[in-house]
Amino acid sequence: MRKQLNKEVAVFKSRMNRKRALIADTFCLTKRRRCAADSVTGESQDIRSSLQYLVTLFSRKLFNDSLPPVVLKHQLYSLHNDKTSVDKQVNELRETGELLMFQLGFDSEAFALVFAEDYRAKVLQGEAGRGTLGTVEKFLTKLIPSCSDLSFNKEKMLKEFLFTDSEITQLVKSGVLTVRDAGSWWLSIPNSGKFIKYFIKGRKAVLGMVKKSKYGEILQTELEGRRTTSQVKFQMKYHIHDIIGAELVECIQTTSGTLLRYVDGNVN
C-alpha cells in the first residue's frame, strides 16, 4: 500500500512541476528556517576548527618562533555568516579558559585571539633564564583558567591578585602587560610590536592591490595567486580573511567565484 502511495505521489509531482517554480518564494522562508536550524547545531564545532585553520595560516617563522599564533576575531566573520553567534561562541571559549582575547591598540574593534596553551608556552619560553620568570608564571596561573578581562587596573592587581608594585613593573618589563593609562594596563602578547607593524603594512598593501585593480575589484582566487610584495610578510589568505571580516572590501558572489570590491570611504 505504501508503494502504491509513493507511485501516486510521484505522478502528482510530475504534474505539479510547474507549480513548484511559482511558489518557490514561499519556500524561501521555510528553507531559510531550515538552514538556520542546521547551521546552529554544526557551528560550535566549527568555530574551533576555523580558529585552528586560521592558526595554520599564521607564519611562525617570521618571528623566529617567539610569538604564539595570533588570529584576529574579525577573521572569523569571513568564515561564518552569523556574527552574533561567532561572538557568543568566542565568549564561551574565553569563559572556559581555552582562548585569550587581547586589545591590539591600532583599532578599537580589532581583537586578537590566542589559544591559552600556546600563549602560556611561548611566554614561558621567552622568559626562560630571566629573573622575571617567577612573577610571570604566577600571573599566568592566576590569569588563564579564571580571568577573562582585557585590562587590569591597579586595585585589581594589588587586592585581587596580590601583586606588589615591583612585581607589576616586572610584568610590564616582560611584555605581558602594557600601559593603558595611569594605574591600568592592557593584557598583551610579548614581542607583539613587530606583529602589529607587519600586519598593518601588509593590510595596507593588500588593500592597495584591490584598489589598484581595474574597477577596484578583483576575484578572490586571483588575489590569492598574486605574488606578494616585500610589504606583505604574512600569507595572502591571512590578509584576505582579515579584510573580508573587517568589511574593508565588499564580497560579491559571481559565477566565477567570490569578487572582492574595494569599499570607498575606508580610513585605512
Partner 1 sequence: MLLFCLILINMTYPSMTFARVCSNIYFLNDLCRHALLPLQMFFAIERQSGLDDPVRLRRAESTRRVLSLELNHNRDVDRIHGNGINTLDIEVIDGRYMLSGGSDGVIVIYDLENNSKKPQYTCKAICTVGRSSRHVHKFSVETVQWYPHDTGMFVSSSFDKTMKVWDTETLKPAEEFQFDGNVYCHHMSPVARKHSLVAVGTKDPKVQLCDLKSGSRIHILQGHRGEILSVRWSPRYDHILATASTDSRVHIWDVRRASGSLFTLDQHNGDKSKTSSEAVNTAHNGRVNGLCFTADGLHLLTTGTDDRMRLWNSATGENTLVNYGKVVNESRKGLKFTVSRGCSPEFVFVPCGSSVAVYGLHSGELITMLRGHYNNVDCCEFHPDYQELYSGGKDCNILAWVPVLRQPDIEDEETNSKRGGTQAAINPAFEDAWSSDED
Residues forming the site for partner 1 (CB under 8 A): 1-2, 5, 9, 12-13, 16, 18-20, 22-23, 25-30, 34, 36, 77, 81-84, 86-88, 103, 108, 149-153, 180-181, 184, 247, 265
Q: At closest approach, how far in Å is the CB of 61 from partner 1?
A: 32
Inter-axis angle of helices 116-127 and 133-143, nearest 10? 170
Cβ–Cβ < 8 Å for 188, 175: yes
CA angle 117, 123, 129 (to 5 degrees): 130
Reported residue count of the chain is 268
Please say which residue, 87 or 117, places its beta carbon nearer to partner 1: 87
Q: At closest approach, how far in Å is the CB of 227 from partner 1?
A: 30
Please say which residue, 169 or 184, places its beta carbon nearer to partner 1: 184
Q: At closest approach, how far in Å is the CB of 182 from partner 1?
A: 9
Cβ–Cβ < 8 Å for 121, 211: no
How far apart are alpha carbons 253 and 249 in whole angstroms? 13
Q: At closest approach, how far in Å is the CB of 213 from partner 1?
A: 21
Please say which residue, 28 or 121, places its beta carbon nearer to partner 1: 28
Please say which residue, 20 or 226, places its beta carbon nearer to partner 1: 20
Q: What number of other Cβ atoms are within 10 A of residue 140's Cβ?
A: 16
- Rounded CA Rg of the chain: 24
How far apart are alpha carbons 259 and 10 in whole angstroms? 41
Q: At closest approach, how far in Å is the CB of 22 from partner 1?
A: 4
Please say which residue, 19 or 227, places its beta carbon nearer to partner 1: 19
